[in-house]
Chain A
């Protein structure tokens, strides 16, 4: 311990005297500046419509219309106020309440949407429903990542688990003509990838990042090979799975905005709700979660009290793979309808980003994945209404946000202490 302290001291001497963080006011000053330039300087003086209702709602909400220029002015002033206010509070050594940045972010988002879609109408329920659909594989992947890393095994192989799940669910779903069989097989496939990760990382003590990277290549090559050899030759026999259809939940799906977004989805999405809730609860409230976190934080201590570190890691990494595999099934069974080469298109890496941005917490990682899904769907929605922002920059957003997050600019993110370290008894 002292060794580390000294070396840290040598590294950055004297930089930790002032513990106040000025990140929040600086960030909001920046947001305010951008909104001033974009939303006022480049505003189109036209109203932006926000259509809040769908046809099946229990009661209809009116369409909201915001004048683009005036909204820009309001947002700029509000974010500037937040910047000044939080700067004042920090200078007084008072904690800034958490709801302030959240309110500010919502304002900035509304300002952005109003500006980007000026003179058009945004269909809000579709925007969020589409975001959820894009986020589902990310959430599955992120949950897999969280479980795996919390138990002490770095999971770079989320992409491989998603891809394996996507491939197997397409094949099994077609052969058995049952989406449930496809879903189950996807979980098994994700688990098999995890076994591979576990065998090399836990048994043979190979560096976990290396194994993860290599497994990604391996599964990409393997599924690509089998796809070209088998699936391309007879697509109707092997790559034509029956997807899950939408199952609206009675009454709940009629609630305006929330209903069409959350309760008019396929069974996999409802399964996702259950899994997120179960993992979030079990991680902190059950013996399983306690053991898992103990093994990930301090395997030696866990071993001392009689927890079998190797076995705990092995089965939890398998569980993580199974969950990530379900995300892969969602891609083929609900999103694309069939398997294609590298159909996951880097979703596993965005899920990894969500794990880190969500600071290794199931709920926060889920929210991060939802945010990333929202960003990519926003790009889709804005390209339809004709947005002034190039779509590439919207697509870049999750990655830039993650870099900012790991660089500690939005708060310190600390991985589980023993994540990435193999454990050898004795």
Chain B
């Protein structure tokens, strides 16, 4: 079905592109976070590695320094003693009296006693230092001579003597005497300074007696601990080859000049007399010529302090330190460290001192076996796997020294201090950070997947809805088109949206509607149009009828007004009844009835003439005119003689009437009384024109003679009178503004000048003729123009 396939394509294309975009952006975000974590981890690792190395470097430097100081201190103490001893040897002859005296003085005198059981001679425990002379340094006594120094003590002397007591060899005795002063120096040196087990002097190979401080039953200990020593020369027994090693320096002036540089260390070993682990420092002494070995000073430095210090070094969680000789023999390490490094202790054997042996290259750990000790002064860092765990190993060499490790070789040696720390402890912080990064990036991954799926779902839902709606509109449209094709023009499609489809639907409907009109509704259209015309026609007819009615009504009103106006005008007979005056009146209403008024009334005292102009047009103006006429007639009948009073009363009546009827009109009004050749003028209106018989024209302004009527109830104060004597033949013209303001087609007023001129020209005519001439002149002026206002004039001519 085309509909579903279109919709499916639409949804598929849009869905795939949205999904691809989301997956790409999500993937990018995840990769970004991963790499961020990796970078951060790498940075942290670098930082930690640097920081921990720095820490280890400093720490191991401190430890090495501390250990070196311990050894240095012992060396300098020994060197001090060595310098004193060497001085005694070098200046033996000069110091002879002192040496002899010292040897006899009670604190330093050595009383040796022969021990037949051990076959050695040794002094008693009441002396500060032990002096022991080995059996091979004794000689049989001369029968005739009794050596006081070799004579047995009292108790022992009483015993039966199976053998005669041996005596110390003369040269040995002399050497003992010469070294008696050492008893003065050894005790303070022993008491202060480095922690040492003992200090001693052993003579040269030809008389290796021992002077040993503090006092100890030395010979007895050695008999027990080192059997056979009394038969072999001391150096050969205990330190075979060492003297030969020293003797190689003879002739080396640089070496011989530096006593401190001659100090030689043995390997660490256990003290045979039970003093614990020690290392012996030897200071060789020489004869004055420096070509013969003159014995050596020994200094047994206790290693317990050093070893304890090393064993107690704490590094991170379970890190440890060790101290080794440069041959890899570890002599200071705690038990846990020993186990970690896979070391085992071998029983020392063979040589005179019990050197314990714990070699790295005999470790059970293959990595330890091949561990390379450093060659320079700088610390070395190694990563070594121990027991399946990565360890960081730091190694630092101590200061160099002379070493004797057996044989006839004195060589330079250095101890090595080592630190061993499990890498995971150093990088514990890193491991934690990496775990956190991994956890958070996993969380991000989960969120990302969730957001992607949710967004995809929402977008697809929206797409399906939109697609359904879109295709629905299209389907509706195509169905509509199909029906059009089948000539069904009644079809319309719903306009549901405001988009292009909606617009298309609208246009479609419009087109269908137009087609419908053109094909099916032509006849109806014609019918409708004609019906409209009929309606319009009917309406026009009705309107026409109404207009006719209206015109009739208007015409009726006009007729009434006109008739009123004419009705009140004086009849010709009335005018002719006036004997002294020839009077002619004229009034022509404009298209609409105006409000002009004139009257000529014969009163009991005088002839009353009136001319006025009511504002406005129409019936109301006509009625007002009627009112004025009625008022004038009534007042005339009431015989009001005073013209001012007369006019004032007219005004008052009109005011009252206008107020009562609500008619909004006023008028200008002039009243004239004629009697005996005098015209009395009152009230404001147009100018009165008098044309004297000789042709002189007088214009009488009426502005100051009154004011408009019907506005103000009391105007008497404003009314003035003007007496105008008239001679026979004088012509007086009264008129309304309809004459002066009559316009020609150009809008030009007829004007008062033309009026005056016209009157002047016809002053000799009768009133009627003059009136006709005037009207003709005005009409000529108007010409084709329109009569805008009523035209009224009254012409008087005194004839008697």
A complexed with B: no
